[in-house]
Amino acid sequence: MVNDTWIALKGGARKGWGVALVCGTGGNACICTPQGEWFTVRGMGYEYGLGAGALYMIRDILHYAFRSYDGIGPKTKLEQEVLKSLSLPGYDVLADMLFSFFVSPSFTSSELRNLLNLVPVLFELASEGDEVCQSILLQQGRVLGEIGGWLIKRMRLEDEDVEVVLVGGVYGGENPLLMDQLTLSLHQLAPRAKVVFPLFEPAIGGYLLALEDKGVYIPASGISWNLPGETGNSQRWSGGGDANL
């Protein structure tokens, strides 16, 4: 059994090694050296060293929305968008809902979906100039970039052209601030690191790791797709190189 960041890295990295920074609903990270040595961040939340992902961004969204409404922080359009997304009449009702959650943690699927829908709104408002939204994106990028850089330093790979594979839906946000800050924070620690998006989905990485377990090593860059032809064959992919698959 391996961590899911491993399959994300194996499917995403051209060389078969590097760093994976996962930022989806949650966040996690790992590194693999050219010699095959792995290290994985604990990935269990802020208290364990990495507070990244949509759920942590929602925490900040709610934090600053309450501060805006209560007049104890800068004004942000999140104040209105939070209530709109959750179809709630006011912040007293929202406070009661959140308190109930902390007493007995359970959101319905629709409530969770509505909360997650605030993340694209965050990116949109940042592009409109909302400084609070911009600060949330910058903080998220800073955390991810620093984790990536420290992973590289931990393995003493600062002098290598390490691929840093970005995996997860949050990286698809329309505002560039998160990516800009991630790259800056990463390069402050590991100037030669190269930020890339994955070649393949993590499922392909899982297959490659299974092959390695059998003694067959193929980097993601050695995979090519065979598209369906006129015969109507289903789409499939095959390994490149000398391996017999």
| CATH number of the domain enclosing 158 | 3.30.420.40
Q: Do 45 and 166 belong to one domain? A: yes
Residue 239, domain member (yes or no): no
Collapse the DSSP code of 223 into the 3-class scheme (helix H, G, I; strand E, B; otherwise coil) and give the result: strand
Strands 18-23 and 27-32: antiparallel
Torsion on CA atoms 109, 113, 115, 116, rounded to nearest 10: 130
Q: Do 149 and 175 belong to one domain? A: yes
Residue 242, domain member (yes or no): no
Ranges of beta strands (E only) in the chain are: 18-23, 27-32, 38-40, 163-167, 194-196, 223-226, 236-239
Query: How far apart are the C-alpha atoms of 56 and 52, rounded to whole Å?
Result: 6
Q: Do 131 and 63 belong to one domain? A: yes
Domain that holds residue 47: 4-51+145-196
Q: For the purposes of burial, counting CB atoms within 10 Å of the CB of 37, is it exposed (0-12), middle (13-18) or buried (19 or more)?
A: exposed
Does pLDDT of 39 surpass 60?
yes
Residue 211, domain member (yes or no): no
- For residue 110, CA distances in Å to 22, 23, 158, 199, 209 come to 24, 21, 44, 32, 36
Residue 130, domain member (yes or no): yes
Q: Do 110 and 42 belong to one domain? A: no
Does pLDDT of 1 surpass 70?
no
- Domain boundary (105, 136, 167) is at 136
Q: Do 91 and 162 belong to one domain? A: no
Q: How far is CA 188 from the centre of its chain?
A: 20
- Centre a 10 Å sphere on the Cβ of residue 199 and count the other Cβ atoms it contains: 17
pLDDT tier, 215 (very low <50, low <70, confident <90, very high otherwise): confident
pTM for the model: 0.83
- What's the start-to-end Cα distance of the chain, in Å? 22
Q: Do 151 and 38 belong to one domain? A: yes
| 50-89 pLDDT tens trace | 889 999 999 999 999 999 999 999 999 999 999 999 999 9
The rounded mean pLDDT for the chain is: 86
- Domain boundary (196, 214, 238) is at 196
| 94-121 pLDDT tens trace | 999 888 877 666 666 677 788 899 999 9
| 138-147 pLDDT tens trace | 999 999 999 9
pLDDT at 238: 30
Which of these, 179, 131, 182, 140, lies nearest to 53 by C-alpha position? 140
Q: Do 150 and 167 belong to one domain? A: yes
Domain count, the chain: 2
Q: Do 131 and 189 belong to one domain? A: no
pLDDT at 92: 96
Residue 224, domain member (yes or no): no
